């Protein structure tokens, strides 16, 4: 098969603002920047570079409406610390009906795009074959 995911695109009314949030959240670099489109790629020299899909932020005239049909799941080393850091960057906790007993935290970026911060993997899970 010769098909691969090149990028994940976000519609946004402000590409620069949303790219700045995600760049700070993930530690990624801006590799293309225009008024209508900003691209992020993993930091140079990391294991994700050239492997993980880029993030692309595209200007659209309308605000987000409704729940995302696709979202990112992020796996931190320390869930509570990352949730606090993301909130300081401008994210907020979001209720999408997940209930109180889930192990992940649903958040929205500055434009309300939902994403999940998963629990950290246990030592056993990290060392599993």
pLDDT by residue (tens digit) across 87-116? 999 999 999 999 999 999 999 999 999 999
Parts of the chain belonging to CATH 3.10.180.10: 69-129
Contact 77, 27 (CB under 8 A): no
Residue 48 reports pLDDT greater than 80? yes
- Residue 98: helix, strand or coil by DSSP? coil
Residue 18 confidence (pLDDT) = 98
Phi and psi, residue 127, nearest 5°: -100, 5
Topology (CATH) of 7-61: 3.30.720
Q: What's the mean per-residue pLDDT of the chain?
A: 95
pLDDT by residue (tens digit) across 30-44? 999 999 999 999 999
- Residue 58: helix, strand or coil by DSSP? strand
Parts of the chain belonging to CATH 3.30.720.120: 7-61
> How many other CB atoms are found less than 10 A from the CB of residue 115?
20
Topology (CATH) of 69-129: 2,3-Dihydroxybiphenyl 1,2-Dioxygenase; domain 1 (3.10.180)
CA distance 54 to 66: 24
Task: Please report which residue ranges of 28-101 form alpha helices under DSSP H.
Answer: 79-89
């Amino acid at each position: 098969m010769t098909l691969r995911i090149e990028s994940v695109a976000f519609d946004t009314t402000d590409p620069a603002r949303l790219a700045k949030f995600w760049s700070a959240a993930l530690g990624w670099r801006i590799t293309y920047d225009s008024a209508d489109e900003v691209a992020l790629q993993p930091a140079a020299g990391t294991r994700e570079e050239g492997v993980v899909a880029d993030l692309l932020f595209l200007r659209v005239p309308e605000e987000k409406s409704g729940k995302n049909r696709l979202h990112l799941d992020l796996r931190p080393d320390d869930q509570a610390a990352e949730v606090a850091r993301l909130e300081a960057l401008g994210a907020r906790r979001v209720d999408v009906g997940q209930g109180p007993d889930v192990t992940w935290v649903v958040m929205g970026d500055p434009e309300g795009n939902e994403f999940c911060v998963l629990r950290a993997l246990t030592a056993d899970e990290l060392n599993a074959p």
